[in-house]
Structure 1
């Protein structure tokens, strides 16, 4: 855009367009808009300049016509900036800007201060950052951090729990039905609907060629779900979502749920599943990855393979024994375990992952794919019913 093009229009639509371009380009002699922000626009421009103005280093200086980073390392200044962006931008934009501030300006350590945590807009990525720092949190900040994490967890549970329970209850009910029920186990409503094509109008009746049973005995057998979650640093958002889903699954009486997290060591957090916040603070983000060791632990806890679903959530960058890992998955599947491989459980898009390991698992009938939280209930339902997974 040159200056002549930018100033060509003079109507309200053109003025609004110039205003947007000015906020995007950041001013200076080269932006070509000829627009000077005032009032609220000036405050928005200042908040953007403080974050995106320089090369991403605290206190970076700008050349003529360039923006500069203006947050520095001052906690009061950052706290004021956090308040400003919450005033001038909608929550989704605020979360993106907070994430960028942590990444570009190295502000993670400032989150160790309670007043900073009180100023931020909580989201999954902030929780992941806090969890990576929680060993360094001073006592004065630890409780505030737990409150922030709990707020995000409760929002996620409210969004995801009802749909997850409804979807999986239906799947468990369908998987429990039997095709040759005894007379007192026949589900007459479903049997009639399944045989409507056999209606005989002259006799005003339905011929029940296929009986559908309640499957009382089958329903008494609880399905087992094992969530095996990589807690290396790149999987932070997945750990947050997996903890929430683990708590939801554990609340369902028809399921027996186990949550295992791992890096180069393995930690069983099943006893903490009644409170996903405790689960999250029991995880230790960072470190290496030993998938084989984690799967060995999970395999040792499986008592009814045909009734078990194992969900491995990992980017598959294995630091352990690769051949043993693949052989272990093959053994579990041969025993009747439904094995699901998720490269990520988050809204972050396609992750970086080990393509060779993913191909090896796919060859065993366990395709590896990234899964959003909204798709996860459908994936679990398909696994419980032993039908093809709904790949994205």
Structure 2
């Protein structure tokens, strides 16, 4: 994101002016917004930002006007910046939380980490107390997990806990409802009790028995939902690539895995991998522990991860294998594809997601994605809000290619 783009996003936020001004007010508001977008170099032409606008401009300048390339291009010295001072950065974090909405704060924090190399400062407890928690920040903290000093870990866990709690509130109910509904539909029986009859399916199945003289359908076959049971009906294996580019997907996957593991009708396993494989299934009762059990970064050996996951699948026709990876394989590609083919032939419902995040499709290996599609396994990116419906489709063994196409059409990402 460029300096002007970032400023433009922030200029329209709470700056003391609401509604749509008219007349002279409209002209002044346009000048104000241009001043906020262009920053300090426009001061001579557009005037100096005052009051709350001045404070907002200073916060923006500390981040976006500290860019060396911009400074050289303008022929001016850097007039702002956050430097390496933790107290100064902590004050800046407090300022942006005061002046901007949380969505803008999260973008500015991410930009600050990238542009000003603030990663080291995130290892200090006072910094973590000042930040606005979000999925991307959690990803950054997880990547620092192995070098994080002990005095910082409690603060980091509090940040991760807040994000995890918010995500669980967002996805848990929808996930349980979608999965339970799919399990019930998948367990249809032909001799249901009256309360278990699926009338829509029953009528459709018996339309040929319509009796014109009685103006009704005489059903010869009843279609119903299976009775609810506490037995495990599906085995689910989530296999998640923990290379650095998959940070947001790792966070969402960990939370979804914990939600699925809480359902008695599913036996859920979580496997994370880079060049090695780690089984985090025994930690699924606490998604925060799951996330701190990951190690973002490193290479990728998808073949090894699939080989381990195959050992967890004992009921192929009742199993769903979800691979979440950008498909850049550092292992043996031919074996990876052969293992996927073996699973699908055995009856496993295989799902490949290029990402599980709000960001859409990342860079990915198109050749491997095409090879999987040739095996009948489409690879596509999925947002967290669509994941429960995807799981329902997999449980009912619906056409996942059609699901992926509808998903892409709905979001206009074709």
TM-score (norm 1): 0.90
- For the structure 1 residues 351 and 86, does the alpha-carbon distance in structure 2 shift closer, same or farther, using more than 3 Å as the test? same
Q: 1:24 to 1:65 in 2, by over 3 A?
A: farther
After superposition, the Cα gap between the structure-2 partners of 1:80 and 1:56, relative to the gap in structure 1 and judged at 3 Å, is farther
* Cα distance between partner residues in 2 of 1:68 and 1:295: 53
Cα distance in 1 between the residues matched to 2:29 and 2:45: 11
How far apart, CA to CA, are the structure 2 residues paired with 1:134 and 1:173? Answer: 41
Within the candidate set 33, 42, 58, 1:46 is matched to 58
Alignment of structure 1 residues 175-254 onto 2, 5 Å: 175-178=186-189, 181-182=190-191, 189-191=197-199, 194-195=202-203, 200=211, 203=214, 206-216=217-227, 220=231, 222-254=233-265
Query: 2:115 maps to what in 1?
Result: 104
Trace 1:318-333 onto structure 2 (pairs within 5 A): 318-333=329-344
Matching residue of 2:25: 12
Shift in CA distance, 151/217, structure 1 to aligned 2, threshold 3 Å: closer
Q: Which moved more, 1:214-223 or 1:263-272?
A: 214-223
Distance 1:334 1:32, change over 3 A: farther
| Distance in structure 1 (CA, Å) of the matches to 2:143 and 2:343 | 32
Distance 1:47 1:26, change over 3 A: same
Alpha-carbon distance change, 217 to 39 in structure 1, aligned in 2, over 3 angstroms? closer
CA contact (8 A) 1:230 1:261 kept: yes
Tell me the SS of whatever aligns to 2:344. Answer: helix
Alignment of 1:97-176 (within 5 A): 97-176=108-187
Cα 1:23–1:263, aligned 2, differ >3 Å: closer, same or farther?
same
Task: Note closer, same or farther for the CA distance 1:339–1:32 as it changes in structure 2 (3 Å cut).
Answer: farther
Question: What SS does the aligned partner of 2:172 have?
Answer: helix
Partner-residue secondary structure (3-state), 1:28: helix
1:257 to 268, 271, 275: 268
Tell me if the contact between 2:197 and 2:224 (Cα under 8 Å) persists in the aligned partners. no
Distance change >3 Å, CA 258–CA 106, structure 1 → 2 = same
1:28 alignment partner in structure 2: 41
Q: CA deviation at 1:200?
A: 4.7
- The more displaced of 294-303 and 185-194 is 185-194
Find 1:293's aligned residue among 299, 304, 308. 304
Partner of 2:49: 37
After superposition, the Cα gap between the structure-2 partners of 1:220 and 1:10, relative to the gap in structure 1 and judged at 3 Å, is closer
State the Cα distance separating 1:348 from its structure 2 match. 1.8
Structure 1, gaps ≥5 residues long: 1-8
Is 1:351 paired with 2:362?
Answer: yes
Structure 2 gap segments, 5+ residues each? 1-21, 409-414
Deviates more, 1:191-200 or 1:242-251: 191-200
Tell whether 2:403 aligns with 1:382.
Answer: no
Greater mean alpha carbon deviation, residues 67-76 or residues 318-327: 67-76
Pairs aligned (count): 378
Distance (whole Å) between structure 2 residues aligned to residue 114 and residue 188 of structure 1: 56
Q: Is the 8 A contact 1:227 1:246 kept in 2?
A: yes
Deviations 1:31-72 (A, max 9, x none): 785232100000000000100013369xx8885468655101
- Alignment pair present for 1:339 and 2:350: yes
Q: In the alignment, is the contact (CA less than 8 A) between 1:101 and 1:107 conserved in 2?
A: yes
Tell me how far 1:347 sits from its aligned partner: 1.0
Residues 232 and 266 in structure 2, CA contact (< 8 A), matched pair in contact too: no
CA contact (8 A) 1:130 1:145 kept: yes
Q: Is contact 1:61-1:68 (8 Å) kept?
A: no
SS in 1 for 2:352: strand
C-alpha distance after superposition, 1:272-314 (max 9, x if no partner): 0011000000111111100000000001111000000100000
Work out the CA distance in 2 between the residues paired with 1:376 and 1:95. Answer: 24
